Chain A
Amino acid sequence: MRIRISNGHVIDPANNIDREQDIYIADGRIVAVGSSPDGFTPDNDIDVTDHIVCPGFVDLRAHFREPGQEHKATIASESRAAARAGVTTVCCPPDTDPVIDTPAVASLIRRRADEVGMTRIVPLGALTQKLQGQQISEMKALKDAGCVGVSNAMYPMASLIELRRAMEYAATHDLTFFIHAEDAALSNHGCAHEGAVATRLGLPGIPEAAETVAVASCLALIEQIGNRAHFSMITTSRAVQMIARAQFDGLPITADVTAHHLHLTEIDILDFDSMCHVRPPLRTQRDCDGLRHGLARGTLAAVCSDHQPHEPDAKLAPFSATATGISALETLLPLSLRLVDDGFMQLSDVIARLTCMPARILGINAGTLSPGGPADICIFDPQRYWTLTRHNIVSMGHNSPFMDWELKGLVTQTLLGGNIVFTSDKDVVNV
């Protein structure tokens, strides 16, 4: 199958491309960008005038709930949601049930994703057995089974000595250490940012220091060990500053932010809206601004979705008793594009933080349109307004605070390895 994607505006930050060009695909791979290879006659010519053509997005954090929580979502259902979102690679954390602490679970997830064939899944291995924070897992075996890094998901380590040993062992096998920076004792079963809103609502708070203390202790250990580490879902302005300073000092660390932390703040939980119950919590406007600047400067290298689909009952309880998380894949692009309209970033810089930069963090060959690579491509109309509704959402989880928002930027086609895995349907999308 030979495909030409013609008349689109190509943005491929890894190769410094930001102009109107054609893309040529053969046998699932990109063969040329710009001028036609000799004798290339397309079987399928896709005209995408006025659309952006970019690498398929790489999402550093999405929960597909399989194995173990298929009542919330499945790899099949969420792969379709990913395709709709233009996401062609997702990194899934190890907190499935059973957890990804054996090669068998990692292989199962990858095999399911291949069978569905709508997005690629790269798993993170569990740092410790059963994620209990004590005995380290067989990281080498997990790496051989395709895990691109290790993480203890949202679970705490028993103490700093276990954290240190686990970092050293991961470094031995050249595995990136993914950190959710939260000091469990300081967050003390809180459910909202400790500040004016939690005070007003009488909700137990998670202080800023729960994040900064964890970042500080990790940075001190990384400085000593010299291992490669990645901070997932940074939420405070102060932590952004700490990470920027450490990067300036040459530490091999990266960090990301979720799309919702770039747009929502503690104010959004004011009427006990359980759709905004997320962990780590929504912080202050000052933090939100700090995250946006951190993303623009590159301190935060990627925007992730932290996609967490839930069944409806999970959000039907008093605020603190509800499950945390947002069904976030399908709003990843429009929320990221909002930063362009808000004047924080150039379009190509936003695309970089959804493509080549997260791919680099994972150490995988993705997120570019380089000839020879797989034709994982997202095509979107940056000017198109649309609304996410209960009827058109693809994910099994309908838990989104962005439901019924007017969103700008609509994915019209997604290609995975040269196969068209998503085409927007005007009737479904309800513009």
Chain B
Amino acid sequence: MNKSNIQLNEQGRLRHFLSIEGLSRSLLTDILNTAESFTSVTEQSVKKVPLLRGKTIVNLFFESSTRTRTTFELAAKRLSADVLNINISVSATSKGETLLDTIRNLEAMHCDMFIVRHPLSGAAHFIARFAAPHISIINAGDGRHSHPTQAMLDMFTIRRHKGEFHKLRVAIVGDISHSRVARSQIHALNILGAEEVRIIGPKTLIPAEAHTLGVHVFHDLREGLRDVDVVIMLRIQKERMEGAFLPSEHEYFQLYGLTEKKLELAKPDIIVMHPGPINRGVEIDSVVADGSRSLILQQVTHGIAVRMAVMSLAMGHSFSDTEREGS
């Protein structure tokens, strides 16, 4: 039995979007192509298509987030859906209501899709397994496990700038251990056929048996950047200085911070990405973050089109529908 089946319906089409793992290359390519067709929508003066008119989408956030929630909300509105934002981190759970109770209550309000962010790994899978069958679940980040729409918007950005994936060497730098973004990116890059995926960081921030994810592990940034086409920097959380993961921001920047000088080791046309929010002077130098090779702000823009694509595909619209509506 394929364990990730829960994401697909009987026809093999997207029903929930929980993790990249277990999805096919053609499905990921469909998402990218659909997103491509939506970019024109986001650039028009009237930024709406009626694909999800009459549908109710709930942004169900058990963990705070500004950018992800906002781009999901914008994406839903541009598809003409009604959007409800619910932040549960303080309200229901502190009153003793279980996650399942919360889901049952929202089901009773006849919603069509939940966008879920939760601090525990596997939360989106859990909700998908127990929610009513007509509801689609989109994972907006669960613990350290998965953040599939972020990975897809990164893939979208890479494809726009580099074309096909099979000749690309991509390095992901920083706190891989605690990063749901890195895990999703690694799966997406491998499924889309990237030539090599590297992860770079000190041993305290590389998860156990990381090579089993299909990556090469480097502990030296200079060595790891050699001949790389794309570098993705991850945010370093302040808490990592406390749990004996890192000695100081200063030493981290010395060893793993991305500077113009270190970038010289990579390919000349390297692109620099970061899922944000960035820590200037910790994982990335301002000159690089604001420089010509940085695509950090484009990633945010692409986030809207990619999330529109995922939402419309999960609600049963095929790529050709979106082509028609988008043009």
Contacts and interface: CB of A to CB of B under 8 A. Distances in A.
B138 to A, nearest CB: 16
A202 B146 contact: yes
Contacts of A200: 21, 183, 212-213
A196 B121 CA distance: 15
A320 interface: yes
A316 B100 contact: yes
B209 A203 contact: no
Contacts of B130: 316
A394 B218 CA distance: 53
A192 B145 CA distance: 13
A317 B98 contact: yes
A430 B157 CA distance: 57
B208 A199 contact: yes
A198 B207 CA distance: 9
A318 B126 contact: yes
B209 to A, nearest CB: 4
A318 B99 contact: yes
A313 B120 CA distance: 17
A320 B213 contact: no
A195 B207 CA distance: 8
A202 B207 CA distance: 9
A270 B3 contact: yes
Interface string A170-207: 00000000000000000000000011101111111101
A201 B184 CA distance: 11
Given A201-B145, A316-B98, A196 B125 contact: no
Contacts of B21: 200
A199 B120 contact: no
Interface string A255-280: 00000000000000011100000000
B123 interface: yes
A102 to B, nearest CB: 31
B193 interface: no
B274 interface: no
Nearest to B119: A318
A205 B208 contact: yes
B208 A198 contact: yes
B208 A318 contact: no
Contact of A319 (B4, B6, B98, B120): B120
Interface centre among A202, A204, A316 (most CB of B within 10 A): A202
Nearest to A270: B3
Interface in B120-145: 120-123, 125-126, 130, 142-145
A317 to B, nearest CB: 6
B118 interface: yes
B144 A207 contact: no
Given A271-B3, A313-B98, A196 B209 contact: yes
A interface residue count range (under 10 / 10 to 19 / 20 to 34 / 35 or more) = 20 to 34
A190 to B, nearest CB: 11
Interface string A197-235: 011111111010000000000000000000000000000
A14 interface: no
Interface string B1-20: 00110100000000000000
Contacts of B84: none
B210 interface: yes
Contact of A196 (B122, B144, B180, B212): B212
Interface string B184-209: 00000000000000000000000111
A194 B208 contact: yes
Contacts of B3: 270-271
B212 A319 contact: no
A272 B121 CA distance: 9
Contacts of B100: 316-317
A203 B208 contact: no
B interface residue count range (under 10 / 10 to 19 / 20 to 34 / 35 or more) = 20 to 34
B183 A320 contact: no
A321 interface: yes
A271 B207 CA distance: 19
A194 B125 CA distance: 21
Contacts of A321: 99, 120
A318 B212 contact: no
Given A194-B208, A270-B3, A202 B98 contact: no
Contacts of B143: 202-203, 318, 320
Nearest to A188: B243
A320 B121 contact: yes
Contacts of A271: 3-4, 6, 125
Interface in B42-61: none
Nearest to B21: A200
Nearest to A191: B121
A202 B125 contact: no
A318 B98 contact: no
B52 to A, nearest CB: 28
A200 B19 CA distance: 11
Interface centre among B120, B122, B125, B183 (most CB of A within 10 A): B122
A321 B126 CA distance: 11
Nearest to A320: B120
A207 B204 CA distance: 13
Contact of A320 (B99, B122, B207): B122
Given A202-B121, A203-B121, A195 B208 contact: yes
A318 B183 CA distance: 19
A202 B144 contact: yes
A199 B187 CA distance: 13
Query: Ordered nearest first, which 6 A-B pairs have the shortest CB separation?
Result: A202-B144, A202-B145, A272-B122, A318-B120, A199-B207, A318-B123
10 contacts: A195-B208, A199-B207, A199-B209, A199-B210, A200-B213, A201-B145, A271-B125, A272-B121, A319-B126, A321-B120
